[in-house]
Amino acid sequence: MITEIDHNIWTVDGSEVTFAGAPMQTRMTVIRLNSGNLWVHSPIHLSNEVHSFISWLGGHVVALIAPNKFHHLFVQAWINAFPEAILFAESELKRKLPSLSSAMDITDTAADLYQDDIDQVIFTGNRLFQEAVFFHKQSKTLIFTDLMANLKTDGMKLLPRLFLQFEGVVYPRGGVPRLYRWFTHDKKKARKCLEVLLEWSPKHLVFSHGELFTDDAQQILMREFKYLLDSSAA
């Protein structure tokens, strides 16, 4: 399914993957930069339909984004299909996969290639996991990957369903996974990242797995990251 979030930004739903026994749909985000070139976040399976959509948008992919250490399954196929594109990868992913060591680092500063259109920050402070979060300036869209989820569990096996319920990411009241909250050891560092997101004043919020929220993006951020805003959070 292709969804136009706002002017020059779309999400495209892809095939299912399995995490901790739970099936979940994949989703990528495509931004048409002011230059007319395409920026692709968390590429999904490059089916004929997806390739046709990219061609319809102009077909000139200049940036491929692998935003955390889990989102790399389909990257190589996109590199092969769009050899002129530059791959940007989160540092933990580059350490995990030596084959991606030549990718450009994702830092707290957007690359010259797309900085006029997109801001970014590495959301860190967690012992086990960090990811790059992006902000499309024109549409005021905040782009997460796995830091939020909102998954339907209809027809799912018992154990995966219980795991997702424990994580607190079940539709319609999903959000930031419980284990991520628990393992956020440096709340001060994480709170600084959150402050950046709030300063951007997002209007839309997208992520890679589950149903997108219809509530105000600022309210969702305040609700889901409340544990970082508590005055006692260290």
Segments forming the whole domain that contains residue 158 = 2-229
Q: From its phi and psi, is residue 181 left (phi > 0), alpha (psi between -120 and 50) or beta?
A: alpha
The answer, yes or no, to whether residue 187 has pLDDT greater than 90, is yes
What is the share, in percent, of the chain residues with pLDDT greater than 70?
A: 98
Q: What is the CATH number of the domain that holds 170?
A: 3.60.15.10
Cα-only R_g, the chain: 17
Q: Could you give the CA distance from residue 36 to residue 213 in angstroms, rounded to a whole number?
A: 28
Is 234 part of a structural domain of the chain? no
Q: b vs e for 3-22, b when ≥16 Cβ sit within 10 Å of the residue's Cβ?
A: eebeebbbbbebeebeeeeb
Is 198 part of a structural domain of the chain? yes
pLDDT in tens, 26-71: 999 999 999 999 999 999 999 999 999 999 999 999 999 999 999 9
Cα–Cα distance list, 48 to 38, 45, 77, 110, 188 (Å): 18, 9, 12, 30, 45
- Which residue in 22, 26, 24 sits closest to 157, CA to CA? 22
**Angle, CA 45 vertex, CA 57 and CA 106 arms, to 5°:** 75
Average pLDDT over residues 164-185: 95
Q: Could you give the CA distance from residue 24 to residue 109 in angstroms, rounded to a whole number?
A: 31
* Average confidence score pLDDT of the chain: 94
- Which residue in 135, 121, 136, 125 sits closest to 184, CA to CA? 125
Please tell me the total count of domains within the chain.
Answer: 1
Bond from prior residue into 172 cis (ω within 30 degrees of 0): yes
Q: Could you give the CA distance from residue 76 to residue 159 in angstroms, rounded to a whole number?
A: 32
Q: What is the pLDDT of residue 23?
A: 81
Q: What is the pLDDT of residue 127?
A: 86
> 63 in helix, strand or coil?
strand
Question: Do the Cβ atoms of 180 and 225 come closer than 8 Å?
Answer: no
Residue 17's pLDDT band (cuts 50, 70, 90)? confident
Q: What is the pLDDT of residue 25?
A: 86
Q: What is the pLDDT of residue 229?
A: 86
Q: Could you give the CA distance from residue 170 to residue 166 in angstroms, rounded to a whole number?
A: 9
**pTM of the full structure:** 0.95
The answer, yes or no, to whether residue 20 has pLDDT greater than 80, is no
Residue 21's pLDDT band (cuts 50, 70, 90)? confident
pLDDT in tens, 108-146: 999 999 999 999 999 999 989 999 999 999 999 999 999
Q: From its phi and psi, is residue 72 left (phi > 0), alpha (psi between -120 and 50) or beta?
A: alpha
Mean pLDDT check: name the lowest of 55-64, 117-126, 151-160, 194-203: 151-160
